[in-house]
Structure 1
Amino acid sequence: MEPSEATTAEENQDATPLPKEMLNEILARLPAKSVGRSRCVSPEWAALLSSAHFVDLHARRANRSDCPRLLLAPVGSLYDDYIYSWQPGGQVEKLMPDDFAAKGLLAPVTKPCHGLVLIRCTDYGGYFVCNPSTGAVLPLPDSENPLKMIWRRSSFHGEVELPYFHEVSYGLGYCSMTKQHKVVLVLDTPAYWRPAAQESPLCYVNEEKPAVFLNGHLHYLCRDAEIITFNTSSETFGSLLPPTGFENASPVLTELDSCLCFCYGEPDSDDPYHVFLLKDYMEGRWDKLCCIDRIAWPETERMLLRSLCISPLGMYHSGDGQRKIMFGTGSCKVFAVDIDSNTPEILFTPDGTIIGSCEDDYTLPLCVFEEYLGPVGRTLEEMIFSSLTTKAWSDILKWMSARSVSELSLVCREWRAMIMTDRFIQSHVIHANLNKNPRIMIVVDARFGHYMNMKDFFDAGAPALYANLVCNAQPCHGLNVGSCGPWDFVCNPVMGYCQHIESVDDDVPLFAGRIGLGYDSEINKHVLCKLRYVKEQQWRSVDPPPRPIADMPPTYVSGKIYWMVEPNLGPISLRCEIVAFNVATDEFEVLQGPPCSHDNGRISILQLQGALCVACSDKSMNVLDIWMMKDIDTWLMEYHIELNEFLPEYLSENTTPLLVDPKDGRILLNTGLSLGYYDPKMLGLETIYTAGMPEHDARFWPIICDESLLCPLGPS
Structure 2
Amino acid sequence: MIFSSPWRNAWSDVLKRLPARSVASLSHVCKDWHAVVKSDRFMQQHTLLHDANQNLLKVMLLEPYHGVFFPLQPMDEHQQPSSNRRVVCSSKPVHGLVVGSCIDWKGTSWDFICNPSVGYYKPISEEYDGEDGSFFPGRIGLGYDARTKKHVPVLLIYQERNFATRSYQLDCFVQLIDTSCHWTPISTPPRPAADMQPAYARGSICVVCSDDRANAMDIWTLEEGVDWLLGHRIELGDEYSSDETTPLALDPQGDWIFLNTGKELAYYYPRTRTLTTICPIGQRLDGMEVIPMFSKESLIRPY
Shift of residue 684, structure 1, vs aligned partner: 2.4
Alpha carbons of structure 1 residues 628 and 427: separation in structure 2 relative to 1, 3 Å = same
> Which residue is equivalent to 1:416?
34
Q: 1:452 aligns with which of 67, 70, 74?
A: 70
Q: 2:141 aligns with which of 516, 520, 535?
A: 516
Shift of residue 439, structure 1, vs aligned partner: 3.3
Q: Does 1:667 align with 2:257?
A: yes
Q: What percent of counterpart residues are identical?
A: 39
Q: Does 1:472 align with 2:90?
A: yes
Alpha carbons of structure 1 residues 607 and 443: separation in structure 2 relative to 1, 3 Å = farther
Distance, in Å, in 1 between the alignment partners of 2:61 and 2:283 is: 19
Q: 1:441 aligns with which of 59, 69, 82?
A: 59
Letter in 2 for 1:395: D
Aligned length: 273
> Which residue is equivalent to 2:124?
501
Q: 2:298 aligns with which of 669, 693, 708?
A: 708
Q: Is the 8 A contact 2:61 2:71 kept in 1?
A: no
Q: Does 1:393 align with 2:11?
A: yes
Letter in 2 for 1:510: F
Q: 1:527 aligns with which of 129, 152, 156?
A: 152
Shift of residue 462, structure 1, vs aligned partner: 4.0
TM-score (norm 1): 0.35
Q: Is the 8 A contact 2:265 2:281 kept in 1?
A: no
Distance, in Å, in 2 between the alignment partners of 1:493 and 1:438 is: 15
Instruction: Spell out the pairing of 1:558-569 with structure 2 (5 A cutoff).
Output: 565=192
Paired residue secondary structure (2:222): strand
Q: Does 1:679 align with 2:302?
A: no
Shift of residue 658, structure 1, vs aligned partner: 2.2
Instruction: Spell out the pairing of 1:328-407 with structure 2 (5 A cutoff).
Output: 383-407=1-25
Letter in 2 for 1:618: D
Letter in 1 for 2:236: L
> Which residue is equivalent to 1:625?
218
Instruction: Spell out the pairing of 1:523-602 with structure 2 (5 A cutoff).
Output: 523-532=148-157, 539=182, 541-548=184-191, 565=192, 576=193, 598=194, 602=195
Deviations 1:334-392, CA, capped at 9 Å, x for gaps: xxxxxxxxxxxxxxxxxxxxxxxxxxxxxxxxxxxxxxxxxxxxxxxxx2111122122
Q: Is the 8 A contact 1:478 1:705 kept in 2?
A: yes
Alpha carbons of structure 1 residues 512 and 684: separation in structure 2 relative to 1, 3 Å = closer
Q: Which runs of 5+ in 2 are unaligned?
A: 104-108, 160-170, 174-179
Higher relative CO (Cα under 8 Å, sequence separation at least 6) belongs to 2
> Which residue is equivalent to 2:50?
432
Shift of residue 655, structure 1, vs aligned partner: 1.7
Shift of residue 660, structure 1, vs aligned partner: 2.8
Paired residue secondary structure (1:432): helix
TM-score (norm 2): 0.77
Letter in 2 for 1:544: S
Distance, in Å, in 2 between the alignment partners of 1:662 and 1:618 is: 24
Q: 1:652 aligns with which of 220, 224, 242?
A: 242
Q: Is the 8 A contact 2:63 2:290 kept in 1?
A: no
Q: Is the 8 A contact 1:466 1:700 kept in 2?
A: no
Shift of residue 506, structure 1, vs aligned partner: 5.3
Alpha carbons of structure 1 residues 420 and 442: separation in structure 2 relative to 1, 3 Å = same
Paired residue secondary structure (2:46): helix
Shift of residue 409, structure 1, vs aligned partner: 1.4
Paired residue secondary structure (1:474): coil
Paired residue secondary structure (2:232): strand
> Which residue is equivalent to 1:481?
99
> Whose Rg is larger?
1
Deviations 1:244-276, CA, capped at 9 Å, x for gaps: xxxxxxxxxxxxxxxxxxxxxxxxxxxxxxxxx
RMSD, aligned α-carbons:
3.2
Deviations 1:381-407, CA, capped at 9 Å, x for gaps: xx2111122122212222221111112
Counting strand residues as a fraction of each chain, which structure ranks higher?
A: 2
Letter in 2 for 1:389: W
Distance, in Å, in 1 between the alignment partners of 2:110 and 2:283 is: 27
